[in-house]
Structure 1
């Protein structure tokens, strides 16, 4: 019995690693730079970096900014033996606007209501792109890179911009609370990214439309949420 349970565990671990490798390669093939993350063991993340005491999700490589790669062969090698969590470097192919769920849902709904134009049968001008969500309820909107936060959002601690020097956990990475998942998958929007300021405009309009009675306690508040990148 012990061996059957152990064999089943090993089999599931191999399947998980193969799935992570396959999806990491797919991201790389579309020009998204991938970073291997520490492996989830129980409720903490473990890497091989000497002296690393970080328990939360983090890159497995000390010089991850230089190592981040969109080379499918390199990505395949990283996942050859370890079920690394899957991280995506931001500020390269895309930036990320991260916000709480109560804002993310409203921003996505607003973007989906805006009709997009078509040119020769090809959809253009879409007001939303890939959107991922963490099990803790943080929504991550992938947008075109390079634009800073609008002044209205710069001091809003509910919103985090991930640019150069930052990263996000990407689906299907598993965190202690559960997996990161796509709300809007890259395939659904044909890997297109919306303009960052267009998404920020929707966010600002959403914030302005929310009355204090319908907002979380202390809104707009000063929640001390650190930004990994500006």
Structure 2
């Protein structure tokens, strides 16, 4: 028998179906714990497709007209959204939790076990670390001064694992299940991030236009 190094052909429709199943199951898991979910545009080539004709947005964005009105925990609506398209999974912020989004230079040391933070942490392939915390706490002054630190609160959202960005998939560093779906004290998380910030260079990695205000638009 002659062996070949060629990879077996996998029909695109099969890959698409597997993606839809994984994304739908993730959305259902979040919703089952009371986290409101909405469908996001899915990656097609070099841009994101939300299904709305003529949409000029090329980056990750909601696939619904009103995120606040559409976000839900209803299983039937979730099943409908992921029945035909591999939508990214968007989690709305400001109600069940806020999210502190920081560069890797701050996020990696803060997520270390020795830092003592017990909460879900996700990271994008572009190196943005997202700490899910209890809602309602504004940024400390030293973090608010950094243009590469964003607090996602009311009216904003984040792409949740296993959503696909242009650089690669979003993944969990610490899954919600590892911490029994509990959220840490935001002041404690910010304190650890502030310590990292005091030791890090102040060169901004991401401009402020990726903040809550732009995502809520």
- List per-residue Cα deviations over 1:37-87 (Å, max 9, x = no partner): 112101210122243110100000011111111122211111111111111
Query: Is 1:87–2:60 an aligned residue pair?
Result: no
Q: Secondary structure at the match of 1:132?
A: strand
Aligned to 2:39: 36
User: Which residue of 2 is the match for residue 204 of structure 1?
Assistant: 194
- Name the structure 2 match of 1:68: 71
Moved more, 150-159 or 29-38: 150-159
The 1:154–1:14 alpha-carbon spacing in structure 2 relative to 1, beyond 3 Å, is same
**1:168-207 to 2 correspondence within 5 Å?**
168-207=158-197
Unaligned runs of 5+ in 1: 116-126
Query: Contact between 1:131 and 1:142, CA under 8 Å: does it hold in 2?
Result: yes
Q: Which moved more, 1:96-105 or 1:45-54?
A: 45-54
Question: For the residues of structure 2 that align with 1:161 and 1:67, how far apart are their CA atoms?
Answer: 22
Task: Find the counterpart in structure 2 of residue 123 from structure 1.
Answer: none
TM-score norm. by structure 1 comes to 0.83
Partner of 1:120: none
**Off by >6 Å, runs of 4+ in structure 1:** none
1:27 pairs with 26, 30, 46, which one? 30
Distance, in Å, in 2 between the alignment partners of 1:223 and 1:206 is 17
The CA distance in 1 between the partners of 2:28 and 2:97, in whole Å, is 17
Q: What secondary structure does 1:206 align onto?
A: helix
C-alpha contact 2:42 2:164 (8 A) present in aligned 1: no
RMSD: 1.9
Alpha-carbon separation, structure 2, partners of 1:221 and 1:192: 31
Deviation track 1:130-168 (CA, whole Å, cap 9, x = no partner) reads 000001000000000111111222221121000011111
Please give the secondary structure, in 2, of the residue aligned with 1:13.
Answer: helix
CA contact (8 A) 1:49 1:62 kept: no
Could you tell me the TM-score, scaled by structure 2's length? Answer: 0.88
Q: Call closer, same or farther: CA 1:175–1:222 in 2, change over 3 Å.
A: closer
Tell me the equivalent position of 1:96. 99
Aligned residue for 1:139, secondary structure, equals strand
Aligned length: 206
